[in-house]
Each structure stands twice: as C-alpha cells, then as structure tokens.
A and B are shown apart, each in its own frame.
Chain A
Amino acid sequence: MKPSRVPFITLILVLVFFYLPICFLVLNSFNDSRYASKWNGFTTRWYERLFERTDILAALGNSVKVATAASLTSMVLGTAAAFALQRYKSHLQDAHKLLVAVPLVLPDILMGMSLLLLFISFGMKLSLLTISIAHITFCLSYVALVVQARLQDFDFNVVEAARDLGASKVQAFMKVTLPLLAPGILAGGLLAFTLSIDDYVITYFVKGPGSDTLPTLVYSMIKKSKDLPVINALSSLMLIVTFAVVAISQRLTRPAVAESK
C-alpha cells in the first residue's frame, strides 16, 4: 500500500510556519515604512539608526558580559556536576541529580520570582551580578546535561591507563580527561551562552534599574511601541549571529555523533 502523504505535507507546513515570521522580520528591517503594513521601498536607514542608539549598544554590552560570566562559570560547575553524576552511584548523587533537574523543569517565572525574593531577603542590590547568578543557575543544569551525554560513551579506563603509566591525578585529568571532553564542554558552554543571551523573564525579575540586557531593553521598546523598525534591524542581526553560533556548535558536536556510529 502506498504510504500516506499527510505526514510529509504536515512537516513542510510546520517548517513554513517556523520560518515565515523570521523571514517577515528580516524583510521588514529593509522596509522604508514606519509600520509593517506595506512595502514602501528598500532602505538601510533602520540599521544606521540602530548603530546610533547608545542604549542598545550598552544593553548588548551587558548581555555579553552576563553571558560570558554565566557560560564560563556554568561550564566549570556543570562539568563537575556531570562528572560526579556519571562516575558515582550513591544516595548523594540521587539527590544531586534531582537538584540539577529542578532548573530544567521550573517555569522561568517561578525561578525569577524566587531569586528576586532571595536577593531581597539577603539585602543584595539588583545589578548585573544578580542577573549573572540567576543565569549561572539555569545554565549549570543545561551544561551538566550536555556534558553528561558526552560522558556516557567516555571510557574511564583511558584515565586508569594514564595513571598506570605514571601520570599524576592532575596530569591525567589535564592531558587525558579534559581534552577528550572538551567538545562536549564547549558545546555546553555555547548552549549556556545562547540561553543567557536569550533570557528575558528571569532577567526581568532580577535586574536592577539601569542594568538592562538586550532582551529586557527590546521588550520595553516593544511595550512602548518605540522605534519598532529599529528592533527589526536588531533582530535580523541577532538572527545572523544565532545562525553562526548554530553552525559552530554543529561542528563541535558532529564528531561525537560520528564516534558513536
């Protein structure tokens, strides 16, 4: 019997559904009209205006600072977590596993709200630091998840062999374990970086006055309906960066797939 075409048609429709809004955004960023209703001719003036906006550049700077701090810290914490979870089987690890899973399932709004109340209770001033702490917290779990997936095919005998051949514990870790895990850790770090750059809800709760990141600034611009075409231009540039990051992370994770086959 001939297989049904319905699933394939649905797949194509879903892909169109995914990309239509994105294409619309990019197209509109070149539209010489204040409103997205009709095409008024090609322009690059929204891009020119974008680079004149110092507040956008400052927010971008904040976003990059936070994402760098969050991805680097969560790479260390997440890798240690993945290592412990994979290597040891104990009640402590059962509890550890549960703890690592909580940020993955906790809705953003609860995470933001709970951290805000924590910072207020401890009298911490809301700033880029509180945003970074919040981002490290959810990035940690994602890094642990990605690194643990890599560790699943990791042969701990290789480390034992290095030790038998006279390597110290530190040498074995630095020269054998770390290089083998590097692609996984980097992929986790990249995921952490994009999650941090992308986050709006949690940041909105734990940011102080004047510590806007790109998403929170864009959001308030949208709410005030201010300079919407500039947001289109900004979005298009961010899409390009995202596609570049996806391409890089594909490169990083591909060897892992090839090895397991």
Chain B
Amino acid sequence: MKLDRKPELLSTAPSFLWLVMFVLVPVAIIFAIAFRPALPAGGIGEGWSLDAIRALADPSYPALFARTIFTAAMTTFLCIAASLPVAYAMARLTPAWRSRVLLLVIVPFWTNFVIRVFAWQQILHAQGFVAEALRSIGLLGDNDRLLGNLTAVIIVSVYTYLPFAILPLFAAAEKFDFGLLDAARDLGAKPLRAFFSVFIPGIRQGVITAFLVVFIPMLGSYVVPDMVGGTGTQMIGNKIAQRNFTDRNLPQAAALSGALALLVLAPMFLRRKEKTA
C-alpha cells in the first residue's frame, strides 16, 4: 500500500500553522523586541539597541527574581505538602465517594479566578471579620494588616493552585498499591515512616507533575500579588505589567519577559532529564 501523507497533512496543518503563528512567532518576537530601542512616547523604535538588556542589570532585579522564585517555591511546597495527605485519603475512599470528592476538588478550579482572589481580598480586609477577630484576641496589632504582605500572597496563591497539585497526586495515588504500606508496617515501619519512605516514592511521578503545574505558572504570577500583595511583594509578572502599561516601555517589558521565559524553561529541562533517565 502506498503511504499517502495527504490526510495527515490536512488534519495537522490547521492547528500546526495556528500555533506557529500565534505561539512560536510571538515568543520569538519577545526576544527580538528586547533588542529594540524604546520611544519616549511609548512605542518601539527603529534599529537595534542594548538598552533594554542593560536595564536588566538594574540593582533591584536580583531581589525581584529571588522574591519571585521564593514565592513560587514556597507556594509549591505548601501545595504539595497539603496535597499528599489529601491524595492519600482520596485514594482510600470507596469509588463512589472518590468521584464525589474529586468533583468537589475540581469545582473551585472552574469558578472565576479573579472572583476567588477578590473573595480573599475581602476576607483579609483590614475591617474584615478575620482582622477584627484577630485584633480582639490580641494576635493582630491595631495598625497591622493582613493584606499587602507575603503571607497573604502565599495563602491566596496556595488557594488558587491547590487543585492543580491535588489532581496529579491523586491520579498517582489511585494507581498506588496500598498493600505495600501494610507490608512496610508488618516489617515494623511506623505509619509516618511508611508514608514518607513508601507512599511518597511510590507516587514520585505525580509529585514531579504537581511541582511543574504549580511552580511554572507561579513564576509568572501576576494577579495575586497585584490584588492581595503590596509594593514589597512584587513579582516578575507585576514588573512586566508595570513596564508595559505604566512606563509604556515595551522593549524593557520584552526583555523581562524573555528573562522569565528562560527561567520557566529551566524546570522543564529537569523533566526532560527525568524522562530519559
């Protein structure tokens, strides 16, 4: 039989060309525009310039990158730490309960992201009931705020990304052979020891996926630090938006975006290695 490639090309071309045009080319443009001069009026100038790249040497940027990585790492750690027992508990439920609880976990992920963050903004508001309650028992000073700090950013980030961590961990835990835990206990391991030395290594692939689906988008986080954070909790995403919309300096926004893109690629290589190993 003659190998006819026409059907393959016909079914591949629409999505392939679309993605080249609207994903690959735009990402390439980011790196190109980073080498363009900025116009004072807010446009992109002619010719080439290293101004935007040089601006990356700004002394405030190392702290910005460090803060971004720290916030992302802390959120990822807390998400995975909370999701591990959750995935364990879900996998031990009866199948009927399992699908009910799974639905309960997924539903918040379907609700509007901006609205979920807004709900937290109200909860943590200075005149909100949480702040009042904490003040009345003396845990919060009169002038202390619950909003505008790193704790608020991390709590709300964990809230928005937790379902993303639970799902891959649950998928892995569902396939885990729980007989191994009984075996570990029979051999004298304490429950906690069995959990850490048998269960977690057993669902290792799920842990790696959970890490990637939380950590990577968190590196590009913008809404949460913008809404519940303050000037001291700015992340790279906020800086990109500021350069773009406030300073109207597109080349600098592009240079920062290019740096963020390289930062995002790093954990992906980690996964590639994992796959080939």
Contacts and interface: CB of A to CB of B under 8 A. Distances in A.
Interface of A: 1, 3-4, 6-8, 10-11, 14-15, 17-19, 21-22, 24-25, 28, 35-38, 76-78, 80-81, 83-84, 87-88, 90, 92-93, 95-96, 99-100, 102-103, 105-111, 113-118, 120-121, 133-134, 136-137, 140, 144, 194, 197-198, 200-201, 204-205, 215, 218-219, 222, 228, 231-232, 235, 238-239, 242-243, 245-246, 250
A197 B44 contact: no
A76 B15 CA distance: 9
B22 A118 contact: yes
Nearest to A205: B244
Contact of A242 (B112, B119, B163, B212): B112
Interface of B: 8-9, 11-12, 14-16, 18-20, 22-27, 29-30, 33, 44, 82, 85-86, 88-90, 92, 101, 103-108, 110-116, 118-123, 125, 127-129, 132, 159, 162-163, 166, 185, 191, 212, 216-217, 219-223, 227, 237, 240-241, 244, 250, 253-254, 257, 260-261, 264, 268
A111 B110 CA distance: 21
Contact of A239 (B19, B24, B111, B113): B111
Contacts of B223: 200-201, 219
A164 to B, nearest CB: 15
A250 B159 CA distance: 24
Most chain A CB within a 10 A radius of its CB, from B15, B23, B82: B15
Given A96-B16, A103-B19, 11 more contacts: A17-B162, A18-B163, A25-B122, A80-B11, A80-B15, A87-B11, A99-B20, A99-B23, A121-B29, A136-B18, A242-B111
A243 B22 contact: no
Q: Determine chain A's interface SS by DSSP, over half rule.
A: helix
A25 B115 contact: yes
Given A18-B108, A107-B264, A114-B29, A200 B257 contact: no
Nearest to B26: A114
B52 to A, nearest CB: 12
B174 to A, nearest CB: 13
Contacts, number: 239
Contacts of A245: 110
Contact of A144 (B15, B106, B111): B15
B220 A108 contact: yes
Contacts of A15: 101, 104-105
A96 B15 contact: yes
Contacts of A19: 108
B111 A11 contact: no
A105 B216 contact: yes
Nearest to A218: B114
B153 to A, nearest CB: 15
Given A28-B122, A37-B128, A245-B110, A81 B115 contact: no
A18 B115 contact: no
The 5 closest A-B pairs by CB, nearest first: A107-B220, A114-B26, A81-B15, A7-B89, A21-B119
Nearest to B120: A21
Given A110-B260, A117-B254, A198-B112, A77 B240 contact: no
Nearest to A228: B122
B70 to A, nearest CB: 17
17 contacts: A15-B101, A15-B104, A21-B119, A77-B18, A81-B14, A84-B11, A99-B19, A105-B264, A106-B264, A107-B216, A107-B260, A110-B27, A113-B240, A121-B33, A133-B22, A201-B222, A238-B115
